[in-house]
Structure 1
């Protein structure tokens, strides 16, 4: 299988590239040259946002292309148009953020989506991903596969969500644990995302697929317990009600990564319908494996995960946590 990977050197792209190489695929990575691509690929350089930035892709044929672009949809449009007729299938790694908010629990791929345009420049994330979908569909029609990923965790994460929790739990002491303890979580390990996507290429799948674990694949309590076991920490988890956390002005998702209190936001992020992906072979590894492998990688990085420059740094400042806990919580 001949695969063209647009990107391929960080987090999701890296996982896709690595999984394809493990299958013996012939992989071409098109990237800006800021990071070294994995051994065994053909590397092409270019900046998609500049004039003639796609020049090195003017020739060549591939069975599929995977595109993880998250910004201006016009960039996806230009790549898809250039590759039309020379690539069998266009795989766009989209997001469940394309659904019109609030999505409510249990909605599938038929749910209403936000407005978007393949010709848009810089727009908000949800509109950008929807515009990217439309760009892929415009050029490839039924041969466009739209992978609507949910929360993505795992080794090489460059957002910092699971790395923050691992480092925080490893420091031990009293840890603010956002409740309820049995709050269900829904996410996808980046390697399971890669495996399903490559399988989907082999199955010639097209159209939209929600790509995240089944609802309740783990819970907040199980996730933090896995962090403690993996890091060997004797941290004391101070389980705290959502009401107390919100009243203190502590922000879900950003200051307390992964966590969202029960309600519309939680239903949207952690209660999605993935029956379609499960029916086509989606397998999700246990949370303990994701946590353990992320910790192993994080330690190899000296405990410091890379940070995407276009995303805010996540996590609760130690002094904010201490002030909250010292206040009697």
Structure 2
């Protein structure tokens, strides 16, 4: 296949480009040229936020396009329109954030409950898992969720087969938000380490390489419409994730498992100060209990958590300096002082 990746040097786009090269595809990437490209691709330079940012694509034709843009949807609209009739398939890598978050979900007796007595009561645990048919955020939502939804709508200017890959939490080598890298560095430092409980809390995420494989397989099959692309809830737990991370970084940390209530009472922010983790409740259910049956039926396969953690650590350990981070996201992680105070 002839593949065009719009981006292709950061995180998700890089994984798509690398997977496509490994499959023997003819791969072109278009980006601003600020990072080294994946070996084996043809790199075109252009800034999609400028008037002539797509000029390098003039005259090109591709079997499939993968677009990972996450900001102003105008960039997606321009690319999709410019490639109409010049590509056989378009994938927009979206986000599960486009689903409407309900702080008070209605219980559904057919769904199994989770951690009873957790913050937020039991009703959230009995709410049905979100499917691709779930309500979406408002089109004028000013944040990241709105940007992704508007990106989905803008991609319709392609006018041909369109796949919306609604990814969940994305982890793996080259992660440029810093969630798993922060935990790995913290555990490498060792000593008494705050471990947010419950220890058996099921997690739901996607290894970036599994996301890339699904996107390319779906493009080859001509799949269209939305897919929630994340592994099944319970693919791993908070305890297994941190246990493996501690093991691969040398086993220096003494994990101090702490109840969610104590963490929240200390004013520590889930997700940002303690990356990946959310306390049991409606937001946890929203992020870690999605229905992925449509994607798995379409061929989504997810590697063991050990591979994700160990490969991310290998990448980090080989870097000559700090891992590159996105400048459009707030930094993640807990200060040593705040951690020590709670412990």
Q: Where on the TM-score scale, by shorter chain, does this alignment land: which range? A: over 0.9
Equivalent positions of 1:108-147 (< 5 A) are 108-116=131-139, 123-141=142-160, 143-147=161-165
Instruction: Supply the RMSD in Å over aligned alpha carbons.
Output: 1.3
Q: Distance in 1 between matches of 2:295 and 2:94?
A: 14
Give 1:319's aligned residue: 337
8 A contact 1:105–1:268 mirrored in 2:
no
How far the C-alpha of 1:105 sits from its partner, in A, is: 4.5
SS at the partner of 2:5? strand
Q: Which of structure 1's runs of 4+ aligned residues deviate more than 6 A?
A: none
8 A contact 2:182–2:332 mirrored in 1:
yes
| Farther off after superposition, 65-74 or 32-41 | 32-41
Q: Distance in 2 between matches of 1:268 and 1:240?
A: 22
SS at the partner of 2:63? strand
Give 2:232's aligned residue: 214
What do the CA deviations read for 1:131-153 (whole angstroms, capped 9, x no partner)? Answer: 11111124335x11000000000
SS at the partner of 1:202? helix
Could you state the TM-score of these two structures normalised by the residue count of structure 1?
0.95
Q: Distance in 2 between matches of 1:105 and 1:14?
A: 34
Give 2:129's aligned residue: 106
Aligned residues: 320
What do the CA deviations read for 1:36-76 (whole angstroms, capped 9, x no partner)? Answer: 21222111111000111111112211011100000011110
Equivalent positions of 1:1-329 (< 5 A) are 1-102=1-102, 105-116=128-139, 123-141=142-160, 143-302=161-320, 304-325=322-343
SS at the partner of 1:86? coil
SS at the partner of 1:87? coil
Could you state the TM-score of these two structures normalised by the residue count of structure 2?
0.91
8 A contact 1:171–1:233 mirrored in 2:
no
| Structure 2, gaps ≥5 residues long | 106-126
SS at the partner of 1:88? coil
8 A contact 1:76–1:135 mirrored in 2:
yes
Q: Distance in 2 between matches of 1:34 and 1:305?
A: 15
Q: Distance in 2 between matches of 1:44 and 1:107?
A: 38
Q: Distance in 2 between matches of 1:311 and 1:25?
A: 32
Q: Distance in 1 between matches of 2:146 and 2:307?
A: 33
How far the C-alpha of 1:302 sits from its partner, in A, is: 4.3
How far the C-alpha of 1:307 sits from its partner, in A, is: 0.8
